[in-house]
Amino acid sequence: MLYMKQLFMDMPFVRTYLDDILVCSENKKVHYSHLKKIFERPVQHQHTINWEKSVFAQPEIQWAGHLLTKDGVLPTDTTKGQIQLIAIPRDKDEVRQFLGHVGYIQDHIANYSHRAAPAHGSLNKTNSIQLVAEMPICL
């Protein structure tokens, strides 16, 4: 993962996640110029591109649990569905797991800090786990 990030670190229009490469451009002309640069880099370092896995010039794309569009970034329906399936936390470990999952999309939850405060408060050493049952199910 770090290797991919370092491989493209001089290209501000590139984002990497594991072995996936995302190219963000203002318009098609610039995008094709960016793609040309991207295609040269793996060859220079003796890597190959999986063309069957590749998609190009898309108006929107699902990437790393988010839906990227020209209008902004949203959590995917799959990501939201997975979070909705999480059982109500019963102990501090489950609260931590829940907060980790929800924290991944916290930018898309209105008043996240306020809504998550009871869950975070239940992790305090001086609080008993009974606070978990009092957490509002509003995230």
67 inside domain:
no
Would you state the pLDDT for residue 34?
95
The whole-angstrom separation of Cα 53 and Cα 20 is: 9
Structure tokens of 113?
């800090």
Which of the two residues, 78 and 133, has the higher pLDDT score?
A: 78
Q: Are residues 51 and 87 in the same domain?
A: no
Q: How confident is the model at residue 1 (pLDDT cuts 50, 70, 90)?
A: low
SS3 at position 3: helix
70 inside domain:
no
99 inside domain:
yes
Q: Quick one: average pLDDT of 62-84? A: 85
Q: Quick one: average pLDDT of 61-83? A: 85
Give the residue among 85, 5, 86 at the shortest CA–CA distance from 41. 5
**Sequence letter at residue 25:** S
Q: Are residues 82 and 114 in the same domain?
A: yes
Q: Are residues 52 and 88 in the same domain?
A: no
The whole-angstrom separation of Cα 116 and Cα 121 is: 9
Res. 139: pLDDT tops 90: no
Res. 135: pLDDT tops 70: no
Q: Quick one: average pLDDT of 124-136? A: 59
- Residue 125: domain span: 78-134
Q: Are residues 45 and 93 in the same domain?
A: no
139 inside domain:
no
Model pTM?
0.61
Q: Count the domains in the chain.
A: 2
13 inside domain:
yes
Are 57 and 16 in contact, with CB atoms under 8 Å apart?
no
Q: How confident is the model at residue 91 (pLDDT cuts 50, 70, 90)?
A: confident
Q: Are residues 6 and 53 in the same domain?
A: yes
The whole-angstrom separation of Cα 69 and Cα 77 is: 14
Q: Quick one: average pLDDT of 66-79? A: 85
Would you state the pLDDT for residue 85?
84
Helix spans in the chain (H): 2-7, 28-44, 77-84, 92-103, 112-122, 130-134
Q: Are residues 47 and 14 in the same domain?
A: yes
Would you state the pLDDT for residue 129?
55
What's the pLDDT tens digit per position in 17-31? 888 899 988 889 999
